[in-house]
Chain A
Amino acid sequence: MLYREKSAWICLAITLFIFVPYFGHVLQLFADGELTRPVVLDYFLGALFAQAMLTIAGHVVISLRARQERADERDKAIEARSLRVSYWVLTVALWTLITCLPMRVTGYSITPLFISQLLLLAWVLGELAKYIAQVVSYRRGY
């Protein structure tokens, strides 16, 4: 397996590992009416730090085991395709938010903090789509 394919797998796994529990926790806080800035900020910074550390560690490990080759035309084509997929997922997610946010949800207060978490979710979905597209493309050959 190429270094770039391994990198895509690592990024995909780490993003799922960090952000699935993260959003589960944020959703629980929202449902309990306890979604406050200090709590979310601490959790968010912790998630970012954990993601950064795991990503660095993961890439150090795969660098030791596989030489990093220069990206050739197929690598660039796969990257371009994955970015296109990511763009479309992000666009759909954002337009879903733009359409749904003005609707009133009884019993819940849609605060700017909650909106920021929804925007973060849209971005994470875009990143997941990018990594999945890369992994699938490498597995299929292109």
Chain B
Amino acid sequence: MAGTAPVAGEISNQIRRLRFDAGEMTQQQLADRAGVTRQTIIAVEAAKYSPSLELAFRIAQVFRKPLEEVFQYQPKA
């Protein structure tokens, strides 16, 4: 039976790389398309703020990528 301890981990993302791959999209452009402020995009990119599920999906949709390609979850050992 799997352990019952809660799974702990960290969320990382590929937003910066995806922005450059998308014709060097600026943080402000991504913020405008995702419906948030540039500071929120900065915080998400730096992994200082974990976006809500809805925002994560909106960001992924901007890049036309699946969610897992934009955000990754790394369980802690």
Residues of chain A having any CB pair with chain B under 8 Å: 2, 69, 72-75, 77, 138, 140-142
A141 and B51 contact, CB distance less than 8 A: no
Q: How far is the CA of A140 from the CA of B46 in the complex (A)?
A: 11
> For chain B residues 27-67, which have a beta carbon within 8 Å of chain A?
35-37, 39-40, 42-43, 46, 48-49, 51-52, 55
- Main SS of chain B's interface residues? loop
- Cα(A77)–Cα(B49), bound, Å: 10
Nearest A residue to B44, CB-CB: A74
Given that A73-B55, A141-B43 are known contacts, is A2 also in contact with B37, CB under 8 Å in the complex?
A: yes
Q: Are A141 and B36 touching (Cβ within 8 A)?
A: no
* CB pairs A–B below 8 angstroms (12 shown): A2-B37, A72-B36, A72-B37, A73-B36, A73-B55, A74-B36, A74-B40, A74-B49, A75-B40, A141-B42, A141-B49, A142-B49
Query: A75: shortest Cβ distance to chain B, in Å?
Result: 7
CA distance A141 to B46 in the complex (A): 9
